[in-house]
């Protein structure tokens, strides 16, 4: 008895005994009762599982229809960029005069609709004024306009002009060399800019085709067999789609239930319809008899395997843990030269490998602790040297400026003073945030040299709203690159002009706009610049704009940064959005 006591005190022996005991008792008990009740419960469980799967499919189909409803509502929820237009919400003017929906050309809007969902194959817009048809198709397919049932669709839309209409599954034979099965979604574009009337003012109608393959990811969850049937119906028993060929579907679809099929249905609220699934019961429960026999066999095999695995697992787990405990005792005594032999690639092997790496890193850490202190002292010395160099540069420029003053070269002295101020502002190794006043003073020093260089042909104006405080923080060196860009690319080609800076608050944001009345730019160049700002990759040029935009986003977060607007021969404006903070996070009055 005493011989067993040391082994019984081992946690691994206890674990193995508990593992075998807890495994065998429930195995025999539960297996006996489960086999007795298995046949009765399997059908109920299968039915409940199928019902949940049908409910899941109905929910996802309803969400898909809701998604296409939201896509159709993009005609009413578009966002306008740049300066607000008093006619922005006048859909009649946008569509009839400007040929656009919201701020986008109609063709571009249709392309956006088509690529907003992978299952949208074609998109159409019929303008009510002259019934002009705009369309976009994927892969540049050819639309046969004479076969497009647009009049039939428009007639149906007149009955419920404010609702989303869904046309059941049909072949898109109006697309050349195509017989794809699609569902067509339709919604009227109503002008809501004026007073609402009983009869809505329809500006045009949007249609887009959705491939019935959009339901395949949901229907695959059901794993339907060859003899199973699935139908999606609306409240009028119209068939939207099915897993059967449409030509082989027998009407009426809803028939009296028979013993050969299990019928399950769940509602789809969006179309006021339902999904109906008929499962063939002969295939559903054919494995019930063989499963009962398999359970008895599994009970015997599992009992034998459980006993063998319990004993083997205990021995396998205990040995490497004991070796690791021995080595840990040596480390506790201060011996860092010990190592654990790695004999496998499993968890125990990785644990031993991790223990060895821990010992190695501990020795390296002890060795490097002394070196780190020496490096810290060297870093502090280098920091002192880097502060001395800028002071030497400032003092040299001051000597040159005083010589210019004594020589009555006041303009040269002022230029040297401005340059000195700029160098001190740029070289100062401080935080990224300064006050608005400091940034404007730096900008004035920069522009003074520009005025002298170009014989006062360029003018700088600054307008600050009363709600803006000059001690608010702003990103350091955020305005000068924008002003420099305006002079180089906007005013110099023109020969003269004005740069105007305005500051105002938009709720919790500081809006800074840099205008110039220069030559402006073409729309293609403007689009390229705005796309470059959104591209996370490094640009080949326009580094200044990209750098300022990325720095603002880094400090202030998403929703802030640069927006560029321009018109050829009129000028360019750059809008910078900053977050408003009441105080600086560092001492802006610190001297270098």
Structure confidence at residue 502 (pLDDT): 93
Higher pLDDT: 211 or 271? It is: 211
Structure confidence at residue 539 (pLDDT): 56
Domain edge (last residue) among 254, 284, 314: 284
Beta strands 100-101; 104-105: pairing state: antiparallel
**330 inside domain:** no
**437 inside domain:** no
Say how far apart CA 473 and CA 584 lie, in whole Å.
Answer: 6
Average pLDDT over residues 207-227: 82
How many helices (DSSP H) and strands (DSSP E) are in the chain?
A: 14, 18
What are the residues whose beta carbons fall under 8 Å from the beta carbon of 120, sequence distance 6 or more?
71, 113, 114, 208, 209, 210, 211
Digit-coded pLDDT (tens) for 255-290? 555 567 788 888 988 888 888 888 877 766 666 667
**589 inside domain:** no
Q: What is the CA radius of gyration of the chain?
A: 38
Q: Among 85-99, 305-319, 364-378, where is mean pLDDT lowest?
A: 364-378
Could you tell me if 101 and 206 lie in one domain?
A: yes
**445 inside domain:** no
Whether 540 shows a pLDDT value over 60: the answer reads: no
Could you tell me if 312 and 248 lie in one domain?
A: no
Which of these, 119, 117, 124, 80, lies nearest to 98 by C-alpha position?
80
Say how far apart CA 498 and CA 450 lie, in whole Å.
Answer: 12
Digit-coded pLDDT (tens) for 392-407? 455 555 555 565 665 5
Give me the domain span that covers residue 51: 4-70+287-325
Average pLDDT over residues 235-255: 64
**530 inside domain:** yes
Could you tell me if 352 and 482 lie in one domain?
A: no
**449 inside domain:** no
Structure confidence at residue 252 (pLDDT): 52
Higher pLDDT: 5 or 80? It is: 5
Could you tell me if 232 and 321 lie in one domain?
A: no
Digit-coded pLDDT (tens) for 173-183? 888 888 888 88
- pLDDT tier for residue 355 given thresholds of 50, 70 and 90: confident
Could you tell me if 320 and 233 lie in one domain?
A: no
- pLDDT tier for residue 590 given thresholds of 50, 70 and 90: very low
What are the residues whose beta carbons fall under 8 Å from the beta carbon of 575, sequence distance 6 or more?
511, 512, 513, 562, 563, 564, 565
**500 inside domain:** yes
The token duo for 410 is 């006041």
SS (H, E, C) 362-397: HHHHHHHHHHHHHHHHHHHHHHHHHHHHHHHHHHHH
The token duo for 424 is 């001190």
Q: Is 247 helix (H, G, I), strand (E, B) or coil?
A: helix
Beta strands 497-506; 104-105: pairing state: unpaired
- pLDDT tier for residue 134 given thresholds of 50, 70 and 90: very high
Which of these, 209, 208, 205, 268, lies nearest to 235 by C-alpha position?
268
Could you tell me if 276 and 291 lie in one domain?
A: no
Digit-coded pLDDT (tens) for 416-471? 766 666 666 666 655 578 888 888 988 888 888 788 878 888 899 999 998 898 98
Average pLDDT over residues 344-348: 69
Which of these, 205, 79, 90, 234, lies nearest to 563 by C-alpha position?
79
Could you tell me if 210 and 80 lie in one domain?
A: yes
**515 inside domain:** yes
Q: What is the DSSP letter of 540?
A: S
Higher pLDDT: 88 or 77? It is: 77
- The number of domains in the chain is 5
């Amino acid at each position: 008895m005493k011989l067993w006591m040391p082994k019984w005190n081992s946690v691994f022996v206890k674990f193995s005994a508990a593992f075998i005991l807890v495994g065998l008792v429930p195995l025999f008990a539960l297996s006996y009762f489960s086999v007795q009740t298995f046949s009765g419960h399997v059908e109920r469980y299968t039915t409940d599982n199928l019902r949940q799967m049908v409910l899941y499919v109905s929910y996802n189909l309803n969400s898909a229809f809701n998604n296409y409803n939201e896509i159709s509502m993009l005609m009413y929820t578009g966002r306008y960029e740049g300066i607000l237009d008093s006619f922005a919400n006048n859909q009649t003017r946008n569509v009839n005069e400007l040929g656009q929906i919201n701020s986008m050309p109609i063709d571009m809007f249709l392309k956006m609709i088509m690529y907003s969902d992978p299952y949208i194959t074609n998109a159409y817009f019929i303008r009510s004024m002259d019934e002009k048809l705009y369309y976009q198709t994927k892969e540049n397919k050819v639309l046969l306009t004479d076969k497009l049932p647009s009049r039939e669709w428009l007639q149906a839309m007149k009955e419920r002009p404010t609702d989303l209409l869904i046309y059941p599954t049909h072949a898109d034979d109006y697309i050349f060399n195509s017989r794809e099965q699609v569902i067509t979604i339709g919604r009227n574009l109503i002008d809501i800019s004026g007073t609402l009337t009983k009869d809505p003012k329809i500006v045009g109608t949007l249609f887009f085709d959705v491939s019935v393959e959009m339901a395949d990811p949901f229907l695959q969850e059901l794993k339907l067999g060859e003899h199973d049937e699935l139908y999606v119906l609306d409240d009028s028993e119209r068939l939207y789609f099915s897993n059967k060929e449409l030509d082989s579907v027998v009407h009426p679809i809803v028939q009296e239930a028979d013993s050969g099929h299990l019928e399950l249905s769940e509602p789809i609220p969006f179309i006021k319809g339902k999904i109906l699934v008929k499962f063939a019961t002969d295939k559903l429960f054919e494995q019930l008899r063989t499963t009962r026999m398999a359970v008895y066999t599994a009970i015997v095999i599992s009992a034998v395997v459980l006993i063998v695995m319990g004993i083997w697992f205990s021995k396998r787990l205990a040995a490497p843990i004991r070796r690791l405990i021995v080595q840990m005792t040596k480390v506790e005594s201060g011996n860092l030269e010990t190592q654990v032999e790695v004999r496998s690639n499993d968890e125990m092997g990785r644990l031993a490998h991790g223990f060895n790496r821990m010992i190695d890193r501990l020795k390296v850490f002890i060795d490097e602790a002394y070196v780190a202190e020496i490096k810290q002292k060297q870093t502090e010395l280098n920091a002192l040297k880097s502060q001395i160099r800028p002071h030497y540069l400032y003092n040299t420029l001051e000597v040159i400026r005083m010589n210019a003053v004594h020589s009555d070269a006041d303009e040269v002295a002022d230029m040297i003073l401005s340059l000195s101020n700029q160098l001190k502002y740029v070289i100062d190794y401080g935080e990224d945030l300064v006050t608005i006043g400091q940034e404007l003073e730096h900008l004035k020093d920069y522009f003074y040299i520009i005025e002298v260089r170009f014989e006062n042909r360029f003018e700088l104006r600054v307008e600050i709203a009363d709600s803006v405080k000059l001690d608010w923080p702003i990103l350091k060196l955020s305005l000068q690159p924008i002003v420099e860009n305006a002079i180089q690319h906007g005013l110099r080609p023109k020969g003269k002009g004005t740069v105007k800076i305005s500051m105002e608050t938009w709720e919790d944001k500081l809006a800074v706009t840099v205008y110039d009345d220069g030559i402006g730019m073409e729309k293609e160049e403007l689009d390229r610049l705005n796309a470059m700002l959104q591209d996370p990759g490094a640009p080949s040029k326009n580094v200044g704009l990209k750098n300022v935009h990325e720095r603002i986003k880094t400090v202030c977060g998403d929703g802030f940064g640069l927006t560029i607007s321009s018109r050829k021969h009129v000028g360019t404006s750059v809008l910078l959005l900053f977050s408003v903070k009441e105080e600086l996070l560092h001492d802006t009055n610190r001297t270098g």
